Structure 1
Amino acid sequence: MPIAPTAGGRRLPRRGRARDLALAVVSAALTVPLLSVPSDAARTTAPRTGFEVSGGARWTGQSEEASLLAGLARSGDRVSVRRIGTTARGRPLRLVRIGSAGPDALTVLLVCGQHGDEPAAREACLSTVRDLAYATDARTRALLARTEILVVPTANPDGLAAGTRANGDGVDINRDHLALRGAEARAVAAVLRDHEPEVIEDVHEYAATAPYYDEDLLVLWPRNPNTEEWLHDEARALALDRVRPAAEKAGFDTGVYGVWTDPATGRPVKRSAGDGQERLLRNIAGLTHAVGLLTESRTDALSAEERADPALNARRRVTSQLVALDALFRYADEQRASIAAATAASRAAGAADRGPVFLAGSDEGVPEPGDTLTDPPCGYRLTKEQFAGVRDELALHAVTSRPDGDGVYVPLRQPARKLIPLLLDGRAAYHLTNGQPDTAC
């Protein structure tokens, strides 16, 4: 599907004065309220992050994060925090739960700071957790009564400590959501399996390339061609019709992640990123039946003032992410019926075992014939040795199997139908093992 040009074929103008005004307001409280402004009492009693205390002059330390989350968990029954893994360097991976976990609740997952050198993403999530924990207004309380909000505030603690994109073993976590070799991706996979979130936001930052690729906030949806149409359309509408307009209204320029545009016309020039790779969290979201959203705030200074004052740059980056999060929560609350219908239909489609499976490609065009399983196999047979090597990964991906002679049989007729060939077919780019296709249905 082609990318829509910005602002009807012309690039949106920079709104520097509007942004400066927004930042001036934000600099006092260093937060964008979620859904509505917290009460004065909540502002007085709510703890603040290290980033907020410093006015954006430094990022919140990991010990400060631990204290903040522990305090929120003790403050009442609205928030719980648990350890979901441990990194190679011994640092905890935490999951925060806020709101309702009832059978009719919609589940929203935020995964923040997969790359350790993108700290503004994490700061936005930390202050969001705090704001939700202390919110007293009716609208936010209603949201929390019917929504389970899960947050992984620091998805890459080792990378954050080192200031590196990768984790402590040099692995890019956002390229590990299929193979699940690292503790970080495994922890996220377990959350996807156990909580089955209907909406997932992956919060990042990016380095701009002026003048073709330098918007304040970029968005994208799952582009893997195996994403069911209902989910794809919901996710694309969230990105383009909800998040972008909200950010622009707040004074931020927006664009589509990976798409370079002509500054004179706003027309796409080329795509440099944002494909359909199944190992990215954004695309795994679609393959696991969730409405996925990627947001990327611009790290580079926008002005001489930001170059002179790094805190101003940091506040702008965090604020743009907070605006996006506010739009996400509004969307989830208002569109929960259509979201639930789309995710349920996606799961049911896998169990129905109909239609092609694509081993490569994206939503922008028809995959190559060699990348299309027009008539997919009934399943894949694995030897005992093969299964031993991928048993844990299949379980984390919620893939079921059954004994088959001396080995194991993985049927396609299950909700993970379109994910299974990407894991087990030797023709898939990132397959875990080369299973034997069973065509004798």
Structure 2
Amino acid sequence: MIWSNEESLSRSELEKIQVEKLKDTVAHVYQNVEFFRNKMQNLNVRPEDVKTLDDLKKLPFSTKEDLRVNYPFGLFAVPENKVVRLHASSGTTGKPTVVGYTQKDIDNWSELIARIVTMAGATVDDKVQIAFKYGLFTGAFGLHYGLEKAGICVIPTSSGNTEKQLMLMKDFGTTILVSTPSYALHMGEIAHSLGIDPKTDLKIRLGLFGGEGSSEATREKIQKVWGMLATENYGLSELIGPGVAGECTHLNGMHISEDFFLPEIINPKTGEVLPPGEKGELVITTLNKEALPLIRYRTRDITRLFYEPCSCGRTTVRMEKISGRSDDMLIVKGVNLFPTQVEEVLSKFDALGPHYEIVIEKHNYLDSLEIKVELNEDLSIDSYQEFERLEQNIKHELRVVLGLEPKLNIVNPRTLQRFEGKAKRVYDLR
């Protein structure tokens, strides 16, 4: 099923829409966001200079750091009393990156989700269990409202409590699962330990997975365990949340809603725009956002774009699975974090030395995060109670800044490996 006519327009029709919306967006940010106005003036660019899609390259890039610097509402393009929803993701010093939505933004978000769930095969006869955590994270609410717009029954179980998830799945007759790919595998493992065969004892036929990258091998394993069609969707909270792109049942790339998002692929080192089919960093300009429009937003995700029409009947460009990052961001349990966030927290404590390690592994298909840090050899801790207080204070700060609770391992001075050159801080063993 194709939800919207805009999904199957000709390339010329799509580009005509994009040009007009690009002009409107550039004028909107120039008039209402001082940050973008200053950036454009520094490049001697004005809204009237944007006349074609090729003029996009004249405009400045924007980054996640820009949202942090302008925390909390400095990039909003509407008055605060027009913002009906706020979401946020973690930031490097405890301050999150904040995204806002007008009512029109919320309505558009629901439209985008309706597109990706129907292209994956969801229908009004389905029941969808959302096993994303509800909160400031955009994933759960984005899928929730879009699924309801498509007329599909939603079961908002949130994340965790896997045994109860499985019980409800069986009792309610759930047919679609929304979660991270790793949690789907974990649920499958728990199901088997309880004597439940997901393929025969449950009715799950479709997975709508996001929040973290996954390989084709992971998809195959999910499909083997559950007997479902496992589809992937893509989004960033800065752009809107989930709903930027999603796979159809042909599984040959994620369709981007080009009437809402204008994608480019650039060389991450030079900023040069690359031709279709070449691999590079994905850059996206929002075309319909009111509260937080972004110009040439550098996602840091590495992928390719394919413009050939899909056999499903959609003509929108398709993006390949994300193959890496152009920065040092890590995704753990669906949460974005940077090594610098960990360093910021540890540096607050005089009792700790400068040497630390971040170790990420998978246990039972779920991510585990361990932080090892040395004590400061110039300071002494006189009692176990003092050590315990230190440990609890560090854990609290890490939980506040990272948005998740890692395992903390405080070790003796001169325990961790030393390096003559650049220190290796991160060990991603997944």
TM-score of Structure 1 vs Structure 2, range by shorter chain = under 0.3
> Which structure has the highest strand share of the two?
2
Length-normalised TM-score, structure 2: 0.28
Name the structure, 1 or 2, with higher relative contact order (CA <8 Å, separation 6+).
Answer: 1
- Larger Rg belongs to: 2
